[in-house]
Structure 1
Amino acid sequence: MSKEAAPAPVTPERTTPSIAPDGLGRGLFAATDINPGQDVLHISIPFVAVLDTHQLGEVCSGCLGRRQLENDDRRLKGCTGCQIVKYCDRTCQAKDWKFAHSLECAIFQKLRPRILPINARAVLRMALRSERQKYPPQEVELFRQLETHIKDIREENPAQWQRISISSKAVKAYSGVEMKEEVISAYGAKLELNSFNLTNALYDRIGLYLHPYAALMNHSCDYNAVVGFDGDELYVKAIRPIAQGDQIFISYVDTTNPRPLRQKELRERYYFRCRCTRCEQPGDEGNDEQGPTDSAAAETQAYALLSRTSSDSSSDLTPHLPAPNDLATDISTVLQNLPPTRITTQPYVSLRDELIAALLARQRYKAAFAHAAVRYLRIDPAVYPREIHPIRLVHAWALARLAVLLSQGVEVTHGGEDEVALERFEVNFSLVLWEVLRRLVALEGRSCAVPGFQGLVGGLFGQVQAEFAAAGLDPRRMEGQIREEFGKVGRLVEWILDGKV
């Protein structure tokens, strides 16, 4: 082993691997009682982490965007060798060079202007680091034990197997490693089945991530832990109390989706059927069955609109493009005709997220705030009942950021009568902003957000507090006014849900 192959910092003291019941293979189990918000697992060095192709020019390949969240104006500098990856500065460049880029830079240079797809770049890194013995032996052994499901892939998804095979041939040809092509294919299969969506602290996908110890965690739609990333650091936090000896479950798919959709995705990507309580007990989810007022045609239209959006970053092939001009109008039409009982079910939950994104893209900040308020007050408490859930926290942050813009009187693009009508509520955005941030800060220490997110919240709250103090005001003594402003926001939400906008 080389001197650089020191064991990667992993904090597994709260977990232990063991054989899982019900044919789930191996799993991770709690070695002690774990409270909500506590770290179940923390891994500070990945086995491999790579950016989506369209993120290579936008996100630092050294810190994986962590420092960019702290400074939006940070300008990245390209690697002078390959000119493919970019960095915040020499510190980030040196970190990535030592980890893996020194092994791949010359290969990227030869391929330029072509860029290998994300999975091929990940397998290339793993093959190069493996051959040069840069992995700790315990990680190598864990990785060796991971399932490949190659037989299932070949029989049930020939297109996936073809993609793995083509990538393996490319890695073998470009890397010059002595590793056999079938071994490289096994690397690719393990990557596809065991990798995580790499996200930033705001849960925006930026790439993929793999660590063989984290990959031991099994799936349940009734999960007790959630995964988050802060740069290249992985955090697994308890979303509810976990007793010593309980298995750690995370979700591999979006559990807000109805059961048939979840089962289809799990079968097609991971080759198993979920038998958790949510999947095995019929009638336990209102989202699974259409209500009497639900329209199949409306649902079909909603899914068609979702397929048109460009914010699904699961694909590495298509860069994010601005949403079509008529997208917000089309989505609004569907949501306006939606029965109130369906606003917290899919596909309408995701459709409202896409509407907010489309409104933001067109600087329609007032309308975006209105729908973000609907999500904050009416949707998230039902979809994510635990207030410490990271998605719920990120949505609260989005509402706060919109309140910042509107409190500063930022010029907005008027979309028509709806923008003018929203002004009737005369919301004091500064007080709303302070209260949303106060609630987020109050959860610090028991939330499931990663440290980088908590840092963003604390930093903005400090700025807002200072601005109030400079004006001689103390929001802590303005409880009555804050309740009044949230009453206005509540009336705005009812106005939206009555189909006025």
Structure 2
Amino acid sequence: MPDLEHVEVKQSQIAGAGRGLFARKDFAPGDLVLSVDRPLVAEPEVERMLDTCAWCFQRGATDPVERAQAASMGMPTGIVEVKSCTGCRRVGYCSKTCQAKAWKREHKYECKILAPKDQPDLPVHVRAVIKLLGRLQADPEGKNGNLLDILKFRPAGEPSALHEFSQQDPKRFDDFKMLGHAVWKYCGEPKLENMEAQAASRALLINVMCNCFELSSGLDDIHLGIGFDPLVSSANHSCDPNVVQVFNQPKTLLKAIKPIKKGDEIFLKYTDVTNPFSVRQADLKKTHLFTCQCAKCKQGPVLAQDIFLHALGKLPQEHCQYADGLVGRHEPQLSRYSVSGKDATAKRRLAILQAEAFSVAEKPDSSIEDIRRALQMCITSGMWSWTRQPVPRLARRLFGLYLDSGEPYKAFRIGLKLYFEIDPKLAPQAFYPDRLTHAWVLSTITNVLCGAVHREIYQEFAQAGLDLRIVYFGFLFDVYDYLPRMHGRDSPLGLVVKNTYDQIMAGIGFSESQLRETVKSVWPALEAVAQGVEVASL
């Protein structure tokens, strides 16, 4: 059970927002604000159903190469075995203990529904609501207040909000109704005490879809699924949040990233708050059905996320021509990428280029060449900095693709760009989850580059005065030192890092303090390497 001593749920200070989560004590950056052992809803995505435990969300790599690499580094993905449920063969568990917990609480309500071989995999939100509807039916007296609490969330829990949704986006509203009805049919048209089952099914689906949060692994930043919890989900959105959500598989934490005073409302981010104003507004409207009116958004498109390096009219001619050729492709979505300014033609061209770059960054099957071209378009235009979206997102995608394709040196170079130039600007807190994950991955890449297979690369750095073994320790120290303020030593990431740290430190022949001083001495040279990485060399 979560500890409610330090937080409380009450009416939000945001007009029309409904409930909110508030602090009952002061919190400093890095403090634990809230901990939930497992979200009420925790559902793996379709592509994760057979390699990720549906209860604790530990993932076991199924690709032999990934599994061998993970095992060599002591990563859980190289050790965990996920076995399919013998009943439905659709979801997996890492142990009999997890399977028993899942069956008792929720899987028994979906197993037979998922089992037919000719039935396609059901969407993640549909599977979540099938379980919830089954649990409601098994609790006719309403003893589990958390289940009923889901129905009170916006928009389905407030008739005015639901009516507004139906008027503003009737097609999507009809889609939600259709999915809710489908869930009710999948469940065998159940009857519920004191409520109409079809209406409850629709309300559950709408509220889960509009209030869920992402579940990702701190070890490798892989998206695992979605979560919903009446307490965590009571925290409203702000584009300038004061907490961040951390998933410790399956524990969910809210950690402070700014000072919070007793009585302050606690704010999460529901979308990427480093995006330009128009993108944030459009995404929140689409996924969460509200127009953000946080203090940051009230200022409009005037902050760093919206500022280009040069005046709109300075766009090079070749980029103007390129934008003109993309009009047909992005015309329907241009409102999401709108740009401020007086020159209508220049605004339109920048919006088109912005739409093109975002579409490549967000497309799941974009190739390395697709990403490189989009990055080059942005940087060579002279309009985007390395820290203005979607350039950081493109850089992260390229980083991941180089890792997946077995190109550690290329991943290392763009990883340095992220570590030194991009991440600190987007997340000033050194203990921020994304920064810790990137530092951890960089440490493993550096360790690989120290091996015999990459001897030439190692010697090249050594000739430039950089010992990659020392660089490895620098990244390892970074993660080890900041973990207690975010994931914690007992988290999946924390346990792997601590085990690695203890083993490595036990084998060195000199003092840790001496090693840390050596790291400090080489860090400026490493930062210089990052600054020298240019888009053409990626």
In structure 2, the partner of 1:17 is: 9
1:219 has 2:262 as partner: no
1:63 has 2:106 as partner: no
1:84 has 2:90 as partner: yes
In structure 2, the partner of 1:3 is: none
In structure 1, the partner of 2:530 is: 493
Q: Distance in 1 between matches of 2:383 and 2:273?
A: 21
1:326 counterpart (362, 369, 377): 369
1:178 has 2:191 as partner: yes
Q: Work out whether residues 434 and 464 of structure 1, in 8 Å CA contact, stay in contact via their aligned partners in 2.
A: no
Deviations 1:339-397 (A, max 9, x none): 49711111111111111122222222111101111111111111111112111221211
1:457 has 2:497 as partner: yes
Q: Secondary structure at the match of 2:115?
A: helix
In structure 1, the partner of 2:474 is: 435
Q: Work out whether residues 238 and 448 of structure 1, in 8 Å CA contact, stay in contact via their aligned partners in 2.
A: no
Range 129-138 or range 253-262, more displaced: 129-138
Q: Which has the higher contact order (CA 8 A, sep 6+)?
A: 1
In structure 2, the partner of 1:6 is: none
Q: Work out whether residues 458 and 468 of structure 2, in 8 Å CA contact, stay in contact via their aligned partners in 1.
A: no
Give me the identity figure in percent: 25
Q: Secondary structure at the match of 1:198?
A: strand
Q: Distance in 2 between matches of 1:183 and 1:474?
A: 63
Deviations 1:115-166 (A, max 9, x none): 2111111110110011112975331342232112432332233343233223
Q: Distance in 1 between matches of 2:361 and 2:415?
A: 18
Q: Distance in 1 between matches of 2:526 and 2:96?
A: 46
In structure 1, the partner of 2:66 is: none
1:40 has 2:33 as partner: yes
In structure 2, the partner of 1:153 is: 165
Paired residues in the alignment total 477
Q: 1:478 to 1:151 in 2, by over 3 A?
A: same
Q: 1:278 to 1:198 in 2, by over 3 A?
A: same
Q: Distance in 1 between matches of 2:498 and 2:363?
A: 28
Q: Distance in 2 between matches of 1:253 and 1:274?
A: 11
In structure 2, the partner of 1:372 is: 415
Q: Secondary structure at the match of 2:533?
A: helix
Q: Distance in 1 between matches of 2:14 and 2:351?
A: 35
Deviations 1:405-454 (A, max 9, x none): 11234569x9xxx9998786464222111112212222243236683322
Q: Work out whether residues 306 and 354 of structure 1, in 8 Å CA contact, stay in contact via their aligned partners in 2.
A: no
In structure 2, the partner of 1:143 is: 150
Q: 1:51 to 1:136 in 2, by over 3 A?
A: farther
Instruction: Calculate the aligned-residue CA RMSD, in Å.
Output: 3.0
1:446 counterpart (465, 485, 488): 485
Deviations 1:283-307 (A, max 9, x none): 6512213231674758755653553
| Shift in Å, 1:46 | 2.3
> Where does structure 2 lack aligned partners over 5 or more consecutive residues?
62-74, 324-349
In structure 1, the partner of 2:212 is: 195
Q: Distance in 1 between matches of 2:57 and 2:271?
A: 23
| Shift in Å, 1:216 | 1.3
The TM-score, its normalising length taken from structure 2, stands at: 0.81
Q: Work out whether residues 356 and 371 of structure 1, in 8 Å CA contact, stay in contact via their aligned partners in 2.
A: yes
Q: Distance in 1 between matches of 2:208 and 2:417?
A: 38
Q: Distance in 1 between matches of 2:428 and 2:209?
A: 31
After superposition, residues 328-477 of structure 1 pair within 5 angstroms as: 329-331=372-374, 333-334=376-377, 337=380, 339=382, 342-410=385-453, 425=464, 427-447=466-486, 451-467=491-507, 469=508, 472-477=509-514
Q: Distance in 2 between matches of 1:446 and 1:426?
A: 33
Q: Distance in 2 between matches of 1:192 and 1:425?
A: 52
The amino acid of 1:381's aligned partner reads P
| Shift in Å, 1:113 | 4.2
Q: Distance in 1 between matches of 2:103 and 2:116?
A: 18
The amino acid of 1:459's aligned partner reads N
2:356 counterpart (304, 319, 322): 304
Range 143-152 or range 234-243, more displaced: 143-152
Q: 1:106 to 1:447 in 2, by over 3 A?
A: closer
The amino acid of 1:190's aligned partner reads N
Q: Distance in 1 between matches of 2:360 and 2:79?
A: 30
1:289 has 2:304 as partner: no
